[in-house]
Structure 1
Amino acid sequence: MLDASKQLLETVRTAARTKLFHLVSVMLALCLLAACQRDQGEESDADTALFPLVSPAAGESPAPTQSSEQAARAEALALALAERQASGLAQSRPGQGELLRDQMLERRREVLAEREAGPVRSTRRMLSPRSQWWQDQALATELSLSAQQIQAVADAAAELERVRSRSRHALATGQRELLQALATGSADLAREQVDQRRDRAIDLAEAEAAWLEALVNTLTAEQLATLARQHPQLIMAGAAERSEARVDRER
């Protein structure tokens, strides 16, 4: 009986020593971890003190990543629209439409490759979509535009602007009348204004499609490819969102 008690006591002591050893080990590990973190913090502070952040020198500016992204989106949109136009042209003129579509697909692959390679600072000259770019001497030389082509593009742009002007005025007037009809509870008049707004939007979309068709019919495939590659915003000069934005500003 005495031997059993001694054995039990020894077992309890061994277990207690084991638990104490584990507890001490855990405490030591925590202390070491805290010391390492403190040392790392001190090293980081020392590095910051030794190597402070250097601001860009005067006259230097960071790379315009936002502008590059906007240009990339505009170019992708222009390529998509040109490809859609080429698909429609392929049905009426198989030879020219297929050639233009192949060039657009090739350009899209180049754009994707450039995008995967990383942002690149653009050095090309940006022209406003609202400018009469066909009258720009440098661009006319770059595209090798003939006098007949310049006149045809100018006529198409003038017609588009006439439709836009009428649409802007009609949309602004219709918007006010629609709000008045809704405010007075006149459902029939409100429906009439909604139908008229739909008709104006269709007219504007047809005018913009006519502008793009005029570009495709007037310029050669090489000229269109150069325009889409170097100045995609000019192809999108007939984008509907610009007209809608101007209508919103006028309201």
Structure 2
Amino acid sequence: MTYQYLLTTIEGEILKITINREQKLNALNRDTLRELNQAITTGLQDKNVTGIVITGAGEKAFVAGADISEFAGFDESQGRDLATKGQLEVFNLIHHAEKPIVAAINGFALGGGLEIAMACHIRIASHTARLGLPEVSLGLIPGYGGTQRLTQLVGRGNAMELILTGNMINAEKALQIGLVNHVVPADEVISKSEEIINDIAKRSPRAVAAAIRAINASLVAGEQGFNVEINEFAKCFATADFQEGVAAFLERRQPQFPKE
């Protein structure tokens, strides 16, 4: 499918989605969010795709925030609709995806850009990356899950400082506080992201999906995460992946898990 603001390629079994608004530092507008929903949904439904990498075009930015010109005149009701639609159609779609989605952060990841990265399962940052949630400088707060996901990733104190100051941090600081998983040279950010997805692809896809559901349950207030884990663990025993995994272990060979 051809998109106006995205470039999509499949390399091996990995779908690479590049947000392609380089002159705007890949800022998110409503059409870009709509296209992200379509591209990610297509990748998740394709049984030949084992994982997704999201990155930004050019060397300067992953995503440098939202396209402010689109919502400068919004009122409270429009702001609520903007956040609700974005959360449901893109950010929660990424968060709850049952295939790994890796953010390859190749430059500025600010505002909605950092929120996309935080919704991903894993984050790889280049040495040149700069990350932050500067919304308070606009008289706003993060609206696509930033207050929640940042706190879950880095703790209340670090989240308070980053959000309330609106300051950016560099990649090494982001690694130190747990905001990103790895920091690599700029020319390795995509290959490192693909390496991790390829490692995950060697495992049982049904077990990977079950693990994602169980981990996500730990983040939901009132959700009995331990019970979700027990149920997901139990259901694994009824899968062909379990039979193949155990047989391969006993036969001292690599498992060949069937695709869904």
Relative to its length, the structure with more helix (as a share) is 1
- The interval holding the TM-score normalised by the smaller chain is under 0.3
Question: Could you state the TM-score of these two structures normalised by the residue count of structure 1?
Answer: 0.21
**Structure having the higher Rg:** 1
Question: Could you state the TM-score of these two structures normalised by the residue count of structure 2?
Answer: 0.21
